[in-house]
Structure 1
Amino acid sequence: MNMVKVAFICVHNSCRSQMAEALCRHLAGDVFECYSAGTETKPQINQDAVRLIKQIYNIDMEKTQHSKLLSDIPPVDIVVTMGCNVACPYLPCKHREDWGLEDPTGKGDEAFKNTIDMIKEKIFDLKSRLKDIKTV
């Protein structure tokens, strides 16, 4: 089976989309080739996201990921927007969905942990629905 390419996109590609990329690779890397990107970049990934993903999943996002532009990733089958609360970036794809996640940036650890848990559940849900999503 060919791997389905999924991109998690946001405006800045520094927090939610980065966590989604890391968790997707970790939790569903057997079916998804995972990417994240945005229309702008930040000099570094959100440090609270880095710290908590490392603490909970032992994934060091600073070693495996960096902030990327939409043009830096290959064509994808599935685009997941994080819930930009503005016009979300556009990327061509065969299936698109919005997860409507609130940005935890500037909030406490509990907000980040809630977002991480929601991302985890949504990744498992996406994986379970893959056979019903028309990507080919």
Structure 2
Amino acid sequence: MSSPAIPSVLFVCVHNAGRSQMAAAFLTYLGRERVEVRSAGSAPADTVNPAVVEALAEVGIDISAEVPKVLTVAAVQASDVVITMGCGDACPYFPGKRYLDWKLEDPAGQGVDAVRPIRDQIEQRIRGLLADLGIEAAA
């Protein structure tokens, strides 16, 4: 008897330094290994936004070791769900994938006070995504 396939989700934004990193971190944390998680950027930054690292640390999630990654065709092809966050035409499209576009403010250049509400919106969307995938979020 085989176990059910684990769904895979790819989060994409331009720099892979803010929104997509937060979304991937929340899905990893709340999904508790029941979802394969990827994130990437169409033009990745050198480092993750420090205000994003701080905002996630406030809710007990450490992404200080994360590094922005470049978006590849292989990452899109290997993912069941692709969630874009403001990368526009730079995001590749493959028929047969489930695509969602989350309109979220870009935390680039903003302090932690401005990042907190974006973080909280992302957490709520991740909880909704888990419910859509039939996966109970961790407490």
| TM-score using structure 2 length | 0.82
Asked whether the equivalents of residues 5 and 77 of structure 1 are also in contact (C-alpha less than 8 Å), the reply is: yes
Tell me by how many angstroms 1:91 deviates.
Answer: 4.8
- Higher gyration radius (CA): 2
Counterpart Cα distance in 2 of 1:124 and 1:88: 27
The number of residues matched between the two structures is 128
Counterpart Cα distance in 2 of 1:27 and 1:91: 27
Asked whether the equivalents of residues 81 and 88 of structure 1 are also in contact (C-alpha less than 8 Å), the reply is: no
In structure 1, the residue matched to 2:68 is 67
1:61 partner SS:
coil
Counterpart Cα distance in 2 of 1:79 and 1:29: 19
Matches within 5 A, 1:9-28: 9-28=12-31
In structure 2, the residue matched to 1:134 is none
The structure where helix makes up a greater share of residues is 1
- Tell me how large the CA RMSD over aligned residues is: 1.9
2:23 partner SS:
helix
Counterpart Cα distance in 1 of 2:56 and 2:67: 14
1:122 partner SS:
helix
Runs of 4+ residues over 6 Å off in structure 1: none
Counterpart Cα distance in 1 of 2:111 and 2:48: 16
Tell me by how many angstroms 1:121 deviates.
Answer: 0.6
Counterpart Cα distance in 2 of 1:91 and 1:34: 18
| Greater CA drift, 93-102 or 15-24 | 93-102
Counterpart Cα distance in 1 of 2:112 and 2:7: 32
Aligned with residue 35 of structure 2, among 32, 35, 42: 32
Change (3 A) 1:43 1:78: same
In structure 2, the residue matched to 1:89 is 91
Tell me by how many angstroms 1:30 deviates.
Answer: 4.1
In structure 2, runs of 5+ residues without a counterpart are: 135-139
